[in-house]
Each structure stands twice: as structure tokens, then as C-alpha cells.
Amino acid sequence: MKIATFNINGIKARFNALTDWLSETQPDVALLQEIKTVDEGFPREHFEDMGYNVETHGMKSFNGVAILSKLPLEDVTRGLPGDDSDEQARWIEATVMGETHPVRLCGLYLPNGNPRPGPKFDYKLAWMERMHSRAQELLASEIPAMMAGDYNIIPQAIDAARPDAWRDDALFHPESRAAYRRILNLGFTEAFRTRNPAPEQYSFWDYQAGAWNKNDGIRIDHLLLTPQAADLLKDCQIDKEYRGREKPSDHVPVWVELAA
């Protein structure tokens, strides 16, 4: 089972780029972030014609997450539990039925948190605390599960080409990184670093200042696996080349293969 996460930075702007990537790499499941449209505005039929089941959790102009799956999806839920007043579309869950195992997938778009300090940073930390609670529930279920998406977290200095440039940013701030580690240390496996310990491997390059050409990137798109899912891990890689395509997202896909 090949499962990918991809912040597409707008389905309208990235319609062709997403279509090409799906056609060329054929993931079984794609967890999308920043679709930036209400559910009714997502081009569902196009991707259904490509063989995907489509589930979305959108909102106008901002945020929005989706699941595209060639495999059957069950028990789809929308929204991160813990705050009924939170209207931002940043979390979607479903159980995907593999050949040998069902896998619970959580697609997420974690808040950016800038500017810091301020209410946006407070929201980020509060959101991560809710995520911590949901992560505990996933572990308690003892089924293969994954939380994957744009975390807006640079976990370590090795995950930035110029870590000093991010010292005061919400993505690299000690409080953000500590909140991420609290989730990871519950018992999750970070799939990419398990397979790829080397430096200079990123999933995001800003559109400004020639970041892509300089490889001035950061790694902020992560896939965290419960122990049951980690036991199924075969590989995890970044589809870096798609950042150099026409009209790319500023993120690229990251994918895992599970023996499921």
C-alpha cells in the first residue's frame, strides 16, 4: 500500500500538477492539504474518473484537507476532536482497507503559528495539544494508524538548509518542536528519518529568493506511524523532482509503502 501526503497549495492552481503526479506515481492513497476550496468546489469527478474515492473537508479560500484513495474507505470523520468552536478545516480521518490490514489514516494540516508570539502561535500549541490527545487514542486502539501531512514543524536543525534563519520562526521555535516531540515520544515512528538519516533532504522550498535552485529548503511534511503501522513499513521517500515542474506547489509529496 503506497500512501502519500502532499500539500498542493490550492486545487485550482495545482490541478494539472496533481493530476500528473497521480498518473505518474500511482499512489494508492493521497492525503492532500491546502485544497483551498469548499467541498462543492473540489473537482471530485475528475479524480473519481482516475479511479479514486474522494473525501474532502474544505473551507472557502483557506486550509482544507482531502483523501483520494483507490482502496475502500470506511468510517470517515472530519475535524480534530477537542474544540467544537474550531471552524478551520485541518483534519480528516478514514480507515483504508488494504489487502492484509486496515490502516487508520489521519490527514492533517497543522497551523503555521506565525507571527509569534500572538494568538496564531497560541492556536498552534493548543491544536497540537488536541492532536496529542487524539494520538493517545490511536495508540490505545492498537491498530495500524498513521498521522500524515504538513506539520509546519522543522523537527531538527538537520531538517533546514539554514537553521539559523528559522530560529525565531514558529516552525522551529523550541515550544513547537517540544510539542511535536511529546507526540512522537508517545510511541510513534517518524517514517522518513527511519529510512533516510542523511542531511539535505527537504519537502518545502519557498517561492521567493531562488530557494529551489539553491536547495534552500526545510522538511516539514511528516508521516508518524503507530507501532503496528511501523511494523509494516517498507520504504519512505520524497518526490523531490516535482518541485522543479511547471506551476509547482511549494511542497512536494512524501510517501510510504506499507506491507498492508
Consult the annotation and say whether 16 binds a ligand: no
Active-site annotation holder among 28, 52, 109, 180: 109
Consult the annotation and say whether 150 binds a ligand: yes
Whole-number Å distance between alpha carbons of 46 and 48: 5
**Cell numbers placing 88:** 478551520
In the block, residue with C-alpha cell 502561535: 121
Q: Which of 199, 203, 257 is nearest to 6 (CA)?
A: 203
Asked if residue 9 lies in contact with residue 205, where contact means CB atoms within 8 angstroms, the answer is no
Consult the annotation and say whether 152 binds a ligand: yes
Active-site annotation holder among 57, 173, 222, 251: 251
Whole-number Å distance between alpha carbons of 61 and 75: 27
- Residue 251 designated active-site: yes
Consult the annotation and say whether 196 binds a ligand: no
SS3 category, 186? coil
List alpha helices for the chain, DSSP H.
Answer: 15-25, 44-49, 119-141, 174-184, 191-195, 211-214, 227-230
Q: Which of 36, 34, 81, 29 is nearest to 54 (CA)?
A: 29
Asked if residue 134 lies in contact with residue 113, where contact means CB atoms within 8 angstroms, the answer is no
Consult the annotation and say whether 63 binds a ligand: no
Q: Which of 70, 126, 69, 113 is nearest to 93 (CA)?
A: 69
Whole-number Å distance between alpha carbons of 210 and 14: 20
Active-site annotation holder among 150, 159, 169, 221: 150
Consult the annotation and say whether 159 binds a ligand: no
Asked if residue 31 lies in contact with residue 41, where contact means CB atoms within 8 angstroms, the answer is no
Give the residue numbers of the binding site: 7, 34, 150, 152, 250-251
Q: Which residues are catalytic?
A: 109, 150, 251
Give the residue numbers of the binding site for Mg(2+): 7, 34, 150, 152, 250-251
